[in-house]
Amino acid sequence: MSVSTTLDHRFREAAAAAGLLDVAYDVADSPVGPLLVAATDHGLCRISFDPEPEREAEELARMFGAKVLRVGKPVDGVRRQLDEYFDGKRTRFELPVDLRPSAPFSRRVLQRLARVPHGEVTTYGALARAAGNPRAARAVGTVMNRNPIPIVLPCHRVIGANGALVGYGGGLDRKRQLLSLEGSLGIDIQ
Amino acid sequence: MGLVHPPPFERFYDEHRDAVLRELRRRLGRDAADDAYQETFLRALRAYGRLRHAENLRAWVLTIARRVAVDQHRRREAPPSAPEPSDDSRPAYAELGELADGLPRKERAAVVLRYGYDLSYSAIGAALGSSEQAARQATSSGVRRLRRMQ
């Protein structure tokens, strides 16, 4: 005997509606492959490429608390904005983000990163300067590489001073794909 | 041995849900088991953040399930309390859905769980960490407040 889909969904949604979860997550389809999308009460806390939900649930539990459950409703809004973005109908995300587990420097860098607009690119050095630490370009690279919320916090818009794409946590092909979607592949650095 | 934290609730739920449903059906029959299933896992979820071990989680959740089953038996045997509102007086959730956002947190959860997910008051109590009676009160004061807001 196994639990019916209806009974299972009803529990998952009731758990979310009752406000009992530390983290709700789901997997969404996108042109850059399936994305795991996770949110807490404070906001969006994770987007992952090539998701391995079991491993990530462990990590989310360590960061935000053990009450982690896969349920679509709390992340429906995020999914909708991502769909609009990939359809070319959205150039700005209007989503609160939860960066509580990030260290203060990373948080500062990620908050600056959030302001780099659609259709533009910046460099690691420029972002380091904007975050108040001009010599930290390499550290900014590390923050980009570990960005917990790629796409929405647009680390794909950060490239090398010489215009090279340099690297991307989700792989350079995806960085190219996202920049091309935004019409900024090969444009000059702002 | 050091402190071992419980696994993510998702894994716990996935590993034990079939056993819980089996136990509840054996004790309560098919229909009553569905409601008791919601109540069992809502109670477990509420307590889960306070667990400081990852041992015998199967035994732990089955204990909760048995308590829920015993409570249900008691309710069946007890003389009926206040009558349930008839279907006519039950608000359609569609009408309440958006408005419910303006309610205090507890009343909002109670109204949504009752009219959005059709949960019993004891399951709602499990979700809110309160008694069945308190869940009933939170739901009805939520509905009264919504009617005033309309």
Q: How high is the pLDDT of residue B73?
A: 86
Q: How high is the pLDDT of residue A97?
A: 98
Helices (H), A18-136: 53-64, 76-86, 104-113, 124-130
Q: Helices (H), strands (E): how many in chain B?
A: 7, 0
Please compute Rg for chain B using Cα positions: 17
Q: Which residue has the higher pLDDT, A175 or B79?
A: A175
Percentage, residues of chain B above pLDDT 70: 84
Angle between helices B121-128 and B30-48 (to 10 degrees): 10
CA distance readout (Å), B97 to B107, B118, B124 = 13, 14, 17
Please give the average pLDDT of every successive group of 10 residues along chain A, which has 190 residues: 91 95 97 97 97 96 97 96 97 97 95 96 95 92 96 96 90 95 75
CB proximity list for A25: less than 8 A, separation 6 or greater: A36, A37, A38, A39, A46, A53, A56, A57, A60, A68, A69, A70, A71, A75
* Bridge partners for A37 per DSSP: A26, A47
Residues 87-146 of B with CB under 8 A from A: 105, 109, 112-113, 116-117, 119, 123, 127-128
Pairing type for strands A35-40 and A43-49 reads antiparallel
The count of residues in chain A is 190
Is the minimum CB–CB distance between A5 and chain B shorter than 8 Å?
no
Q: How high is the pLDDT of residue A71?
A: 97
Is the minimum CB–CB distance between A55 and chain B shorter than 8 Å?
no
Which residue in chain A has the smallest CA separation from B26?
A1
Question: Binning pLDDT at 50, 70 and 90, where does residue B52 land?
Answer: confident
The alpha carbon of residue A47 is apart from the nearest alpha carbon of chain B, in Å, by: 18
Which residue in chain A has the smallest CA separation from B34?
A7
Question: Binning pLDDT at 50, 70 and 90, where does residue B1 land?
Answer: very low
Q: Return the H-helix or E-strand segment holding B128.
A: helix B121-128
Known catalytic residue at A45: no
Q: How high is the pLDDT of residue B101?
A: 80
Residue closest to B120 by CA, chosen among B94, B84, B96, B92? B84
The alpha carbon of residue B13 is apart from the nearest alpha carbon of chain A, in Å, by: 9
Mean pLDDT over residues B111-130, rounded? 88
CB-CB contact of A146 with A170 (8 Å): no
CA-angle at A18, arms to A40 and A25, nearest 5°: 35
Question: What pTM did the predictor assign?
Answer: 0.88
CB-CB contact of B134 with B124 (8 Å): no
Q: Which residues of A touch B127 (CB under 8 A)?
A: 14-15, 18, 20
Q: Which two tokens stand for residue B25?
A: 């059906």
Q: How high is the pLDDT of residue B97?
A: 65
How many of the other CB atoms lie within 10 Å of CB of B75?
Answer: 15
Is the minimum CB–CB distance between A68 and chain B shorter than 8 Å?
yes
The alpha carbon of residue A127 is apart from the nearest alpha carbon of chain B, in Å, by: 36
Question: Binning pLDDT at 50, 70 and 90, where does residue B88 land?
Answer: very low
The count of residues in chain B is 150
ipTM of the complex: 0.91
Question: Binning pLDDT at 50, 70 and 90, where does residue B4 land?
Answer: confident
Residue closest to B36 by CA, chosen among B76, B80, B66? B66
Write down the catalytic residue from A155, A158, A159, A178: A155
- Nearest 5°: phi and psi at A158? -110, 120
Mean pLDDT over residues B91-118, rounded? 79
pLDDT surpasses 70 at B85? no
With H, G, I as helix, E, B as strand and everything else as coil, classify residue A28: strand
